[in-house]
Amino acid sequence: MQSYKDLSNHFGTNLYDPSFNSFLHANFSDLTEYNVAESDYVISEEKGIELGFINEDAEFDEDEELVFNEGSPMFAFFNINPTEQNFFKELPFNIDFNDKREIVLEKAGNPTQTNQGRSDLLEKDFLVDHYKLDNLVITFDYDPISQALNFMQVRDNNLMEHLKL
C-alpha cells in the first residue's frame, strides 16, 4: 500500500519512462491501455484509480479514433474512487470515503476554492472543494444533496495550467 504522495512523486513523468512503467506494472494488474483518441486516463478498476495524462503534442482524429502521433503522455493527475480494495494507506488529510463534507471540512479546514452549481453539459448539479498543498491540488467531489464524497482528485498545479489555483 502506498501514500497518495508516493504516486504524486511521479507527476511530470512520461508514461513510457521505463521506471514509471515498472512502477505501474508492479502496483496495478488491471490497467487499461492508453489511447489518446479515447481518453486521457489509464484506469485500474480493481484499485479504484484513474491515472490522468496531459499530451499536448499528440495528433489524432477523435471522431474516427485514429491516432497519427501518439505524442508524449505526461502523468499529471489521478482520481481516487471508493473501492473495496484500497490502494492507498494514506489519503489526503486522512479522509475516508465514508466521510461526508462536514467531516472533510473538519479534517482539512477551509478549502482554497469551492465550486457549486449546475453543469448543463453533464446535466447535473455539482459541489467541489479544492485545497492547494504546495504544488498539489486536492479536489473533493461530493454529491450536492447528501454531501457524500464521490471521488478525490490529486493533480500537479504546475502541469494543469487551465486548472491552476
For 96-165, the fitting CATH number among 3.20.20, 3.30.1450, 1.10.287, 1.10.540 is 3.30.1450
Residue limits of CATH 3.30.1450 in the chain: 96-165
Give pTM, 2 decimals.
0.87
Along the 165 residues of the chain, how does pLDDT read in single tens digits? Answer: 678 888 999 999 999 999 999 999 999 999 999 887 778 899 999 899 999 998 888 676 666 666 576 788 999 999 999 886 678 888 899 998 999 999 999 999 999 999 998 887 778 889 999 999 988 999 999 999 999 999 999 999 887 655 655
DSSP string covering 35-93, please?
A: -TTT-SEEEETTTTEEEEEE-TT-EEETTTTEEEE----EEEEEEE---SS--EEE-GG
Residue 140, strand partner residues: 129, 152
d(CA 156, CA 165) in angstroms, rounded, equals 10
